[in-house]
Amino acid sequence: MPKEVTINVTEVTVVSGKKNRIRVNINGLDVHIPVDQGVYAYFHEQFSRAQPTELQRKKSATIMNLLRAAYLKGVSDGEKA
C-alpha cells in the first residue's frame, strides 16, 4: 500500500503517519488539512486507485473545487479582519 497518493486535479497528496492529514496544493501553496482516521480512510478508499472510475474523477474534482473555494474564502476573510 502506497504511503503517498497524488491526484492531479489541483493536487492532493494523502500522507500516512502518526497524524492523518491531507495535503492540498492551491495556487502553489501547500495546505495541510488534519483529518481523523475515518475521514482519512474514506478519502484514501475513494481516491487512491491507480485506475479511478469516471465517477471517482468527478468526485475528486468536486472535492478539490470545494477545498479550494473554502481555503480561498478563508484567506479573503483573514485579509479583511
Residue 10, pLDDT score: 52
In sequence order, what are the residues at sequence separation of 6 or more whose Cβ sits closer than 8 angstroms to the Cβ of residue 49? 56
Element (H, E) at 28: none
pTM value is 0.54
User: Do you know the residue count of the chain?
Assistant: 81
Element (H, E) at 25: strand 21-26
Tell me which residue has cell 480561498. 72
C-alpha–C-alpha distance, residues 20 and 18, integer Å = 6
Number of domains in the chain: 1
pLDDT tens for each residue of the chain, 81 residues long:
456 555 445 555 665 656 788 777 777 778 888 887 888 888 777 777 778 889 888 888 888 788 788 888 887 887 776
Q: For residue 59, what are the domain limits?
A: 4-80
